[in-house]
């Protein structure tokens, strides 16, 4: 893969930069499988973190997007909980571990609540530096994520809330990236629905972040932290960085 691009914010200067959350601003300590395994210990269940992690991402990839377009806002938190519970249950069915839990509901509630705290998360080394830099240049910042309402306590607990002028999540909008609806909603919060070219979006998913943003006219930047090479011509020609400080 070619070297990351150094992108100049001055020409043309964006009015707003949107950023994905998980995998872009902050990540999971170790792995999702490791976090599940650590919590499972308190339920006297031993899990293989690598096996659980692989099954989790297989289940995640095959699951429907986490968005509830026909649901009243008051019912969204319960829908979020059930969406993740179904994903976890499918994960442990794959690994054969579901039968190990005497009280799976209690285990899942603990792991669900855990991911609303700082415990499983770490902030990438360069995150605060670039956010402070962009804010000092007068650029508005927004989180744009296929996450649920736990994003609010997580961002606050990680001490990132002061950097952002908006937070747009799929469960509140009723549309998940790469659907145009979530991007349009984010743009509207900054008065840019008619001028998406004045916004940038940075995220670690090529399909959801890069292609989704590009389709609505936002300048898209793909964050490929792992520097994974690809034979896909679209990925090879994409505006790509491997850390936020490449901008």
DSSP readout, 107-145?
HHHHHHHHTTSSTTEEE-TTHHHHHHHHHHTT-EEEEEE
| Percent of the chain scoring above 70 in pLDDT | 96
Cis preceding linkage at 178, omega within 30: yes
Res. 233: pLDDT tops 90: no
Pull the structure tokens for residue 157. 């607990």
User: pLDDT tens for residues 85-104?
Assistant: 999 999 999 999 999 999 99
Phi, psi of 209 (to 5 degrees): -85, -55
Mean per-residue pLDDT for 68-83? 96
What is the number of residues in the chain?
Answer: 247
The model's confidence at residue 162, banded by pLDDT at 50, 70 and 90, is very high
Q: What's the confidence (pLDDT) of residue 42?
A: 96
Which pLDDT score is estimated for 10? 57
* Residue pair 189/183 in contact by the 8 Å Cβ criterion: no
Instruction: Judge whether residue 79 has pLDDT over 60.
Output: yes
- Give the integer Cα–Cα distance in Å for 45 and 201: 41
Q: Is the pLDDT of residue 4 over 50?
A: no
- In sign, the C-alpha dihedral spanning 91, 95, 96, 98 is negative
How far apart CA 179 and CA 184 sit, in angstroms, is 9
Q: Which sequence spans correspond to the domains of the chain?
A: 16-27+121-246, 30-114
In the predicted model, is pLDDT for residue 3 greater than 70?
Answer: no
pLDDT tens digit sequence for 165-200: 999 999 999 999 999 999 999 999 999 999 999 999
Report phi then psi at 49, rounded to 5. -55, -40
Q: What per-residue confidence (pLDDT) applies to 40?
A: 98
pLDDT value for 115: 98
189 contacts 166 by C-beta, under 8 angstroms? yes
* Mean pLDDT within 137-149: 97
pLDDT tens profile 7-37? 665 557 899 999 999 999 999 999 999 999 9
pLDDT of res. 9: 57
Residue 145, strand partner residues? 169
Give the CA distances from residue 195 to residues 173, 180, 198, in Å, rounded to whole numbers and listed in that order: 20, 14, 6
Give percent of the chain with pLDDT exceeding 90: 88
Report the SS3 class of residue 204: coil
Q: Give 5's pLDDT tier (boundaries 50, 70, 90).
A: low
Instruction: Report H helices in the chain.
Output: 32-41, 49-62, 76-95, 104-114, 127-136, 151-157, 170-173, 180-189, 212-215, 233-237
The architecture in CATH of the region 16-27+121-246 reads 3-Layer(aba) Sandwich (3.40)
Average pLDDT, the chain: 94
């Amino acid at each position: 893969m070619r070297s990351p691009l150094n992108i100049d914010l001055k020409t043309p200067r964006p009015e707003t930069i949107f950023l994905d959350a998980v995998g872009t601003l902050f990540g999971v300590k170790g792995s999702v499988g490791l976090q599940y395994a650590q919590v499972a210990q308190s339920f006297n269940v031993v899990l293989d973190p690598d096996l659980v992690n692989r099954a989790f991402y297989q289940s995640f990839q095959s699951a429907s997007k986490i968005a509830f377009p026909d649901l009243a806002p008051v019912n969204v938190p319960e829908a979020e909980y059930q969406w993740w519970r179904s994903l976890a249950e499918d994960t442990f069915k794959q690994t054969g571990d579901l039968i190990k839990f005497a009280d799976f509901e209690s285990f899942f509630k603990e792991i669900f609540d855990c991911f609303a705290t700082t415990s499983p998360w770490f902030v990438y080394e360069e995150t605060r530096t670039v956010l402070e830099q962009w804010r000092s240049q007068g650029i508005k910042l927004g989180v744009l994520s296929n996450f649920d309402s736990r994003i609010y306590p997580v961002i606050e607990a990680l001490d990132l809330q002061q950097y952002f002028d908006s937070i747009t999540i799929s469960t509140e909008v009723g549309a998940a990236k790469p659907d145009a609806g979530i991007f349009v909603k984010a743009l509207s919060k900054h008065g840019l629905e008619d001028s998406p070219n004045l916004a940038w979006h940075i995220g670690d998913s090529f399909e959801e972040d890069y292609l989704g943003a590009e389709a609505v006219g936002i300048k898209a930047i793909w964050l490929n932290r792992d520097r994974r090479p690809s034979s896909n011509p679209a990925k090879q020609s994409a505006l790509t960085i491997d850390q936020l400080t490449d901008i």
